[in-house]
Amino acid sequence: MRERYGVIVVGAGHAGCEAALAASRMGVPTLLLNLYIDNMALMACNPSIGGPAKGHLVREIDALGGEQARATDASTLHIRWLNTSKGPAVRTLRAQCDMKAYHAAYLDAVENTENLDLFQDIVTEIVVSGGRARGVKTRLGLVFEAGAVILATGTYLGGRVHVGLVNFPSGPLGQMPASELTESLRQAGFEVGRLKTGTTPRIHAASVDWKSLVPQESAPEPLAFSHWGTPRVHSGHACYQTRTTPRTHEIIRGALDRSPLFTGAIEGVGPRYCPSIEDRVVRFPDRDSHIVFLEPVGGRTAEIYMQNFSTSLPFDVQVEMVRSLPGCENARFLRPGYAIEYDFMPPTQLYPSLETRLVGGLFCAGQINGTSGYEEAAAQGILAGINAARKLLGQEPVVLGRGDAYMGVLVDDLVTKGTQEPYRMFTSRCEHRLIMRHDNADRRLSPLGRELGLVDDARWKALQDRWEALDAERTRLGGLRVFPTAENNARLAAAGTVPLEEPVPAAELLKRPEVDWNLLQALLDEPSPMTAGETATLATEIKYAGYIEREVRSVERLGRMEKVKVPEGLDYGAVTGLSAESRAKLSQARPLTLGQASRISGVTPADVQILWVAVKACHGKAAG
């Protein structure tokens, strides 16, 4: 092993693995330190990847040259499309994974990547000198030097597990916590907060009455998450639906006096959008039932995950409430549910590059930034790895805009607005989601991945071939005509749209709301040779062309504001006309651009105009 590296990554969860792989693939010698190698890319909660917005993040990571989609495809047990009735902007995949196979896929990638060393040890201190991160110290007394350090500590940093009124220091699933690093961060001047998340009981498959439950099968068509993956049909690992009952809720209400959530034993703030079952029962007293999904965690294990049933109630209560669910009357436990508290650093202490403002060369990614979810963590990880490498190479950081990617929205939300609770990505957070779809992540981000050296020759060639085929088919459809034959007009009438009176370009006809791709193919003498995935992309681009053009213009306007740099030392107290609230918020947030300033809560459009004038005056003085 080297004594000095370009980049050191602390933590080998989803964020840490992506960060280490990105930096090393860019040619920077990288060390990945983890407190226990066997928990690399651990799926400590539900072993699933994707879903609304999260699936978009996975596709973007993949398009940049990251690993998560490939690990997902290598471990998929069950996969299906979500939001299919809500339009192409929010449609995406969700896969249930074999958690051990997922871990193995990441471990294989890490162990076989050049410029990347892996070592098991606990980091206890960040070495800081002259305002810069210089390396790390470990529990074994080792000191590793580096030009940049990335913290990707997940829920291990100061981790404490709660099961009822019993609590103890721990990482997830009984792993050891990292207990000393927090003090090092405080000594360096960082603000550190406390958050909480949780997980569900795990039960034995043989103890469930599956015949009484509603199955949810995997999709019948071949699917894959990665742009370069081989689509496959998956079977034999269905998910099943059950529901809580009035008896379940009665058990929960009767045990709230022993709940760490309601007795004050837990200090950290929990996730608003993924609450525990006891929190749901208390917050929605008029609901007498909540859906619970029973989902496999592996292809060769009897362990079953109980989605939507996270809890930190005492173990005896957990047993009683699980057995109150239909189909689970004789359930046998393998693991109890629990809540876990952990330390995080409020992300307003970061630049958009994910480098800390206080210590140069120190980057943060994943749950240490207050996020939740494997996908959000991996997205931050690849960006932190890219920017740490670029900093060492003397290059400008990669900062994706809100109109470029969900990853850009994620980072901008964190560094501009901060978070007081575990942050979760939603499609509703994205103003420009029609142009940031699941199906076009490659067009948006793979050229950047290629430029960074993360997309190799073979993958780049495959993308170019696909894009050329799509462009050729779009041109062909623009030149093809659909004729007003009796048969064609009968099909159009059956679809609820007006018949043709004269020949119409096929691409133009597809813009009608009632005309889908399958109907168009039936009207053509020369049907398309494209695959299902390619035709979905093409149909969306043609059908929504007007809306897409409008979104592109909106993003361009936003881009102009992002180009207006705000001087870092600007004295907001001296800017005449700003409201007191805006002055205080701007002084605290220290936005880097006018666009970022406009997204700070409490800063009004009028304040932005005033600030614009002040910034132009500063730039004028600097030029003079």
Q: How confident is the model at residue 221 (pLDDT cuts 50, 70, 90)?
A: very high
Are the CB atoms for 418 and 348 separated by under 8 Å?
A: yes
- Kindly report, residue by residue over 302-360, the tens digit of the pLDDT: 999 999 999 999 999 999 999 999 999 999 999 999 999 999 999 999 999 999 999 99
Q: Mark 341-357 as b/e (b = at least 16 C-beta within 10 Å).
A: bbbbbbbbbbbbbbbbe
Q: Three-state SS for 221? A: coil
- Kindly report, residue by residue over 383-426, the tens digit of the pLDDT: 999 999 999 999 999 999 999 999 999 999 999 999 999 999 99
User: What CATH class is the domain 202-335?
Assistant: mainly beta
Rounded to two decimals, what is the model's pTM? Answer: 0.94
CATH topology of domain 4-199+342-452: FAD/NAD(P)-binding domain (3.50.50)
Q: Three-state SS for 369? A: helix
Provide the pairing of β-strand 4-10 with 30-34.
parallel
pLDDT of residue 616: 85
Residue 283 buriedness (CB in 10 A; 0-12 / 13-18 / 19+): exposed
pLDDT of residue 152: 98
CATH topology of domain 563-623: DNA polymerase; domain 1 (1.10.150)
- Kindly report, residue by residue over 164-207, the tens digit of the pLDDT: 999 999 999 889 999 999 999 999 999 999 999 999 999 999 99
* Whole-number Å distance between alpha carbons of 52 and 59: 12
User: What CATH class is the domain 473-551?
Assistant: mainly alpha
Where are the domains positioned within the chain?
A: 4-199+342-452, 202-335, 473-551, 563-623
